[in-house]
């Protein structure tokens, strides 16, 4: 078998952990399998590197940021290879570019365009364990790029897809995908299985356990993923095709605090306003998430929308001139909001799911500012101060034993 294993930052945080991971890898290798291991930077290295950059230049170019951040994964890849050498096994570590990761030039959030697998295959043919620095690649100018925070997951799934691996294991610091962040919700429980679509929604809506692009890739190339712990040796969660997964009403609750709400109050109630506003936001390359437009009253209406928290000010700047020109009463944004979501393929065929979520929030005295839904998710925007209470209340409404009957 060809196995791809990915180890997150906590899993390689110190020498003991590095040897623990070396043990997991060599165990598979001993069984006769080909093993490729993708690693993240140790512990909080990436955050520390970002902090170092800020001390020098808060407006550093994205190119130089990627040059810096890719160093974290270079260190862990080399250290892990050294540990495996010490255990007496053949091994080689490769940086993203050596492993054939070609990306576009979007520094800081580059997309994989192609993985040239020649070098990895040659090393596997020599019966070597291959360690790959995750999170990084090279663009057509020959410059180093990174894939965005949490991007090592995407590196791992990318290699698994490019090489047609039989198994892709994502080792992390929890033993699977839970019904909510197990560090925040003590009653959350581990799911045995989840579909690609459900996992994609959960990851996009704030569950950082898997990077959403990695799930997108896994779905596209039908790579079954297993999310499991590098410490406790218990079965993890399988992420796979819908037909093989039991339908549950709701699979999980997620929280996203990376949200800003932009509010335009009192714009004329006439055709074309929404078009003018959102085409300006789009031109500024800002992604809009939830949109709410009030019913017109006294010939005016309000438009509210959400964007990523660091795009609030930019959104306001992009539409300020237009909004002033048409005589809106006010244009403001705030980041004291959070988005709470529930995800589950079962809600497609069940009524009353939204009502149950809203009831839980009402009982907790939490006000809903905006609502958005799709076939398999419901999201609400609330005050950031209520976020953790909201997750607990909604989780309990769907997952406490008495409520699941």
Q: Which does 135 bind (CB under 5 to 8 A by kind): Mg ion, ligand ASP, ligand ADP, none?
A: ligand ASP
Q: Which residues pair with 341 in a beta bridge?
A: 254, 379
How does strand 370-374 pair with strand 330-334?
Answer: unpaired
DSSP label at 180?
A: S
Task: Tell me the C-alpha distance between 170 and 38, whole Å.
Answer: 9
Out of 149, 184, 190, 389, the only residue in the binding site for ligand ASP (CB under 6 A) is 149
Q: Cβ closer to ligand ADP: 44 or 85?
A: 44
Task: Tell me the C-alpha distance between 355 and 347, whole Å.
Answer: 12
- Asked whether the beta carbons of 252 and 178 are under 8 A apart, the reply is yes
Q: How many residues are present in the chain? A: 405
Q: How many chain residues touch ligand ADP (CB under 6 A)?
A: 19
Q: Phi, psi (5° rounding) for residue 247?
A: -85, 125
Tokens of 145: 């790029």
Least Å distance between CB 96 and ligand ASP? 11
Task: Give the distance from CA 86 to its chain's centroid.
Answer: 34
Out of 4, 8, 193, 238, the only residue in the binding site for ligand ADP (CB under 6 A) is 8
Out of 150, 158, 206, 344, the only residue in the binding site for Mg ion (CB under 5 A) is 150
Q: How many chain residues touch Mg ion (CB under 5 A)?
A: 1
Q: Which residues pair with 3 in a beta bridge?
A: 35, 167
Is 40 an interacting residue with respect to ligand ADP (CB under 6 A)? yes
Is 40 an interacting residue with respect to ligand ASP (CB under 6 A)? yes
Q: Which does 182 bind (CB under 5 to 8 A by kind): ligand ADP, ligand ASP, Mg ion, none?
A: ligand ADP
Q: Output the DSSP codes for 100-115.
A: TEEE-S-TTS--EEEE
DSSP label at 14?
A: S
Interface residues for ligand ADP in 208-247 (CB under 6 A)? 208-209
Task: Tell me the C-alpha distance between 20 and 142, whole Å.
Answer: 35
Site string for ligand ASP, 89-128 (x = CB under 6 A): ----------------------------------------
Out of 72, 150, 266, 312, the only residue in the binding site for ligand ADP (CB under 6 A) is 150
Q: Cβ closer to ligand ASP: 47 or 192?
A: 47
Tokens 């198994």 sit on residue: 167
Near ligand ADP by CB under 6 A, which window of 160-168, 203-211, 287-295, 298-306?
A: 203-211
Least Å distance between CB 182 and ligand ASP? 19
Q: Cβ closer to ligand ADP: 181 or 386?
A: 181
Comparing CA positions, the residue from 258, 284, 39, 261 lying closest to residue 156 is 39
Is 173 an interacting residue with respect to ligand ADP (CB under 6 A)? yes
140 backbone φψ class: left, alpha, beta (φ>0; ψ -120 to 50): alpha
Q: Cβ closer to Mg ion: 6 or 238?
A: 6
Task: Tell me the C-alpha distance between 302 and 150, whole Å.
Answer: 36
Task: Tell me the C-alpha distance between 98 and 329, whole Å.
Answer: 56
Out of 150, 176, 206, 252, the only residue in the binding site for ligand ASP (CB under 6 A) is 150
Is 9 an interacting residue with respect to ligand ASP (CB under 6 A)? yes
Out of 77, 91, 165, 174, the only residue in the binding site for ligand ADP (CB under 6 A) is 174
- At 254, which helix (H) or strand (E)? strand 252-256
Least Å distance between CB 192 and ligand ADP? 13
Q: Cβ closer to Mg ion: 148 or 346?
A: 148
Cβ neighbours for 293, distance < 8 A, ≥ 6 positions apart: 274, 301, 302, 303, 304
Task: By CB under 6 A, name the binding residues for ligand ADP.
Answer: 8-11, 40, 150, 172-174, 177-178, 180-183, 207-209, 252
Which residues of this protein are in contact with ligand ASP, per CB under 6 A?
Answer: 8-9, 40-41, 46, 72, 134-135, 149-153
Site of interaction with Mg ion (CB under 5 A):
150
């Amino acid at each position: 078998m060809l196995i791809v294993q990915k180890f997150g930052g906590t899993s390689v945080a110190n020498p003991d952990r590095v040897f623990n991971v070396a043990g997991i890898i060599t165990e598979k290798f001993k069984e006769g399998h080909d093993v490729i291991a993708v690693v993240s930077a140790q512990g909080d290295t990436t955050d520390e590197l970002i902090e170092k950059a800020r001390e020098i230049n808060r407006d550093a170019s994205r190119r130089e940021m990627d040059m810096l951040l890719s160093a974290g994964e270079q260190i862990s890849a080399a250290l892990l290879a050294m540990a495996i050498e010490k255990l007496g096994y053949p091994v080689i570590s490769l940086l993203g570019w050596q492993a054939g990761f070609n990306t576009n030039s979007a520094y800081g959030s580059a997309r994989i365009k192609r993985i040239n697998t020649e070098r990895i295959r040659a090393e596997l043919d020599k019966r070597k364990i291959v360690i790959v620095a995750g999170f990084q690649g090279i663009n057509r100018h020959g410059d180093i790029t990174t894939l965005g925070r949490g991007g090592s997951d995407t590196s791992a799934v990318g290699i698994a897809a490019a090489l047609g691996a039989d198994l892709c294991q994502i080792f992390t610091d929890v033993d699977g995908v839970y019904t909510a962040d197990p560090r925040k919700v003590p009653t959350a429980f581990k799911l045995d299985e989840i579909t690609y679509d459900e996992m994609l929604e959960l990851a996009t809506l704030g569950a950082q356990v898997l990077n959403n692009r990695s799930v997108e890739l896994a779905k596209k190339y039908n790579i079954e993923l297993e999310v499991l712990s590098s410490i406790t040796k218990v079965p993890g969660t399988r992420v796979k095709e819908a037909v093989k997964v039991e339908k549950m009403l709701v699979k999980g609750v997620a929280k996203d605090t990376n949200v800003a709400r932009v509010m335009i109050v009192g714009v004329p109630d006439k055709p074309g306003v929404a078009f003018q506003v959102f085409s300006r936001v789009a031109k500024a390359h800002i992604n809009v998430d939830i949109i709410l437009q009030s019913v017109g009253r006294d010939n005016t209406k309000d438009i509210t929308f959400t964007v990523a928290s660091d795009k609030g000010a930019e959104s306001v700047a992009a539409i300020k001139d237009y909004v002033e020109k048409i005589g809106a009463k006010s244009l403001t944004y705030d980041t004291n909001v959070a988005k709470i979501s529930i995800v589950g393929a079962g809600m497609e065929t069940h009524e009353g799911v939204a009502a149950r979520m809203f009831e839980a929030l009402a009982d907790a005295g939490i006000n809903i500012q905006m609502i958005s839904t799709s076939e398999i998710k419901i999201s609400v925007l609330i005050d950031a101060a209520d976020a953790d209470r909201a997750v607990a209340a909604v989780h309990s409404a769907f997952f406490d034993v008495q409520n699941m009957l």
